[in-house]
Amino acid sequence: MAICAHAIQQADGSYLLGLDPSVTDPATCAYVVETGGEGALGSLLSLTTDQALLIGAQIWALWAVCWGIKQVARAILNPTNEGNDDA
């Protein structure tokens, strides 16, 4: 459930969010507060297959780049390949 909120400036210059449950359309609010687990969990469960494959490919590509950097660093630090058991 989404609830609208508005910013209230305090005397010290900080801000506090005041909830306004009377507004029915959250699209018109400056700030929206989501209750429960609908924020993160809902977005993960609503992924399409293409989006999930894209995320998986990006994770794999990041792993591959990190593995490559590790191999280059290992080659620079130990050029004779001595003591390298898991090359």
Query: What does the pLDDT look like over 32-80, one tens digit per residue?
Result: 887 765 555 566 677 889 999 999 999 999 999 999 999 999 999 987 7
Shortest CA distance to 1 belongs to which of 22, 26, 18? 26
H/E run at residue 4: strand 2-9
56 & 73 share domain: yes
Determine if residue 36 is left, alpha or beta; phi over 0 gives left, psi from -120 to 50 gives alpha, anything else beta.
Answer: left
Determine if residue 48 is left, alpha or beta; phi over 0 gives left, psi from -120 to 50 gives alpha, anything else beta.
Answer: beta
Query: Where is pLDDT greater, at 52 or 23?
Result: 52
Range of the domain at 81: 47-87
Least confident of 14-18, 60-64, 68-72, 83-87: 83-87
Name the one residue in this structure whose structure tokens are 């609830």: 3
The pTM is what? 0.45
23 & 51 share domain: no
- The domain tally of the chain equals 2
Q: How far apart are CA 8 and CA 27, in angstroms?
A: 20
38 & 55 share domain: no
